[in-house]
């Protein structure tokens, strides 16, 4: 218990309605903070006491202050804090207290028409900085870690600043257990569902009408990867999404399309490959081949970086643990077979000599 600290904070100005919003129904918000940060929070009116490990207690204290600011009246009414808001704030507070001085504090804030978009954790902050400072950036990790969303935000920001002249978004149209031929419509309509996440991010940041106008003027182009062959892309911000479903040849083709004053971001999750059995993922191959090439950065995300519903992080972690366990079993079986073969070899030799 000697390692624990007790932080006392007073939330000003005192407002009973704002405090109710902060704590949530039946103190659900407080309980979520306690559970996620491993602290104990007690309060009376606007005076709070946070007990726990020094780093976590400090993070929880700052979190309470930030969340209380979010309860400021809007047009005379007190906004209620939703569980997802608290979850994202917890993610941010955890990384704020964890980050080394000067690292996360100098994070990049991306300005779009929607407002300022900022990284939620140190890995995202490093990822965004690498996107800005490198010609080619890989974002590798599970769903929900913000790889594609932040890449699109960086592209929109670069377009708004007139650093590039167009945005090109692409992904391989690989079937995940379903056949494209059974979908209605022409090729473009068949491919659209695969590109929908990219459209959604653009619509959220720029608005539907502006995106439609930019697409009509070819300032924004969304296309399947097969359409990239034979092109040279200058003055462009290029995003290849779902790159784990490229072949080695497709990945090489894509990377050699990049022209002058262009940047490329390649995102993917090597645990969700939908390629036919026996076909090696172009993303896995690129990690092996390009890891030492200058001006290329690799950013790896884990379950701890997931910024969706908390259960998503637990699902991702469970799959990672299972895969690691299966790999350990495979290695043990391989070692046992090798040992057995070595034990049998001398006996065979003796039999032959007789």
For 26-48, what is each residue's pLDDT tens digit? Answer: 898 998 888 778 889 999 999 99
131-145, 216-230, 233-247, 259-273: segment of lowest average pLDDT: 216-230
- CA–CA–CA angle 202, 206, 209 (5° rounding): 95
Does the pLDDT value for residue 167 go beyond 90? yes
Q: Residue 352 has what pLDDT?
A: 52
Mean of pLDDT over the chain: 81
Q: Is the pLDDT of residue 152 over 70?
A: yes
Structure tokens at 23: 């704590």
Alpha-carbon distance 162 to 242, whole Å? 27
The arithmetic mean of pLDDT across residues 194-199, rounded, is 77
Question: Per the CATH hierarchy, to which homologous superfamily does domain 107-308 belong?
Answer: P-loop containing nucleotide triphosphate hydrolases (3.40.50.300)
| Residue given tokens 């978004």 in the structure block | 169
pLDDT in tens, 288-311: 999 888 889 999 998 777 766 666
Condensed to tens digits (0 to 9), the pLDDT of residues 337-351 reads: 888 888 877 654 555
- Phi and psi at residue 283, to the nearest 5°: -70, -45
Give yes or no for a contact between 19 and 46, defined as CB atoms under 8 angstroms apart: yes
The mean pLDDT value for 170-190 works out to 58
Q: Which fold has domain 5-98?
A: Ribosomal Protein S8; Chain: A, domain 1 (3.30.1370)
pLDDT of res. 92 = 67
Q: Read off the pLDDT of residues 103-151 as tens digits, 9 standing for 90 and up.
A: 443 445 677 666 778 787 888 888 998 998 888 999 999 888 889 889 9
Q: What is the pLDDT of residue 276?
A: 85
Pair 287, 322: CB distance under 8 Å: no
Q: With cut-offs at 50, 70 and 90, classify the pLDDT of residue 190.
A: low
Query: Lowest-confidence range among 115-124, 207-216, 231-240?
Result: 115-124
pLDDT of residue 44: 93
- Tell me what the mean pLDDT of segment 20-25 comes to: 92
Q: What is the structure's pLDDT at 95?
A: 46
Report how far residue 216's alpha carbon sits from residue 197's, in angstroms, rounded to the nearest whole number. Answer: 19
* Residue predicted with more confidence, 182 or 308: 308
Do residues 97 and 56 make contact, with C-beta atoms less than 8 angstroms apart?
Answer: yes
Torsion of CA 315, 318, 322, 327, to 10 degrees: 100
User: How confident is the model over 326-339, as a mean pLDDT?
Assistant: 87
Q: What's the confidence (pLDDT) of residue 28?
A: 87
Helix residue spans in the chain (DSSP H): 16-23, 28-37, 54-70, 83-98, 122-133, 147-160, 187-206, 208-216, 248-255, 282-290, 310-353
Residue 14 is predicted with a pLDDT of 92
- For the chain, percent of residues with pLDDT exceeding 90: 28
**What was the pLDDT predicted at 308?**
63
Is 326 a residue whose pLDDT tops 80?
A: yes
pLDDT for 113: 66
pLDDT exceeds 60 at position 256? yes
Q: Which pair of tokens denotes residue 19?
A: 């405090």
Domain extent listing, the chain = 5-98, 107-308, 314-343
């Amino acid at each position: 218990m000697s390692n624990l600290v007790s932080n006392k904070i007073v939330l000003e100005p005192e407002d009973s309605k704002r405090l109710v919003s902060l704590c949530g129904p039946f103190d659900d918000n407080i309980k979520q903070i306690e559970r996620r940060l491993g602290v104990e929070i007690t309060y009376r009116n606007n005076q709070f006491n946070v007990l726990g490990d020094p780093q976590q207690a400090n993070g929880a204290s700052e979190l309470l202050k930030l969340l209380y600011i979010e309860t400021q009246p809007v047009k005379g009414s007190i906004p209620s804090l939703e569980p997802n808001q608290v979850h994202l704030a917890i993610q941010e507070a955890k990384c704020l207290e964890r980050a080394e001085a000067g690292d996360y504090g100098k994070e990049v804030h991306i300005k779009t028409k929607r407002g300022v978009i900022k990284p939620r954790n140190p890995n995202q902050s490093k990822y965004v900085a690498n996107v800005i400072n490198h010609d080619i950036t890989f974002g590798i990790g599970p769903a929900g870690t913000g790889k594609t969303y932040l890449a699109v935000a960086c592209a929109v920001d670069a377009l708004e600043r007139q650093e590039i002249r167009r945005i090109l978004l692409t992904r391989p149209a690989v079937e995940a257990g379903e056949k494209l031929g059974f979908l209605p419509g022409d090729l473009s309509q068949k491919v659209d569902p695969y590109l929908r996440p990219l459209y959604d991010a653009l619509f959220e940041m720029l608005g539907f009408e502006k995106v439609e106008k930019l697409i009509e003027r070819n300032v924004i182009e969304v296309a399947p990867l097969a359409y990239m062959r034979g092109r040279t892309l200058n003055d462009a911000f290029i995003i290849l999404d779902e790159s784990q479903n490229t072949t080695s040849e497709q990945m090489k083709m894509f990377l050699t399309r990049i022209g002058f004053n262009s940047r490329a971001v390649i995102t993917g999750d090597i645990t969700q490959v939908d390629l036919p059995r026996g076909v090696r993922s172009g993303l896995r191959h690129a990690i092996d081949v390009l890891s030492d090439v200058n001006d290329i950065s690799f950013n790896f995300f884990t379950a701890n970086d997931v910024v969706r519903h908390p259960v998503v992080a637990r699902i991702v972690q469970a799959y990672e643990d299972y895969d690691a366990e299966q790999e350990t079993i495979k290695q043990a079986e391989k070692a046992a077979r090798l040992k057995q073969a070595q034990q049998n070899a001398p006996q065979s030799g003796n039999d032959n000599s007789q």
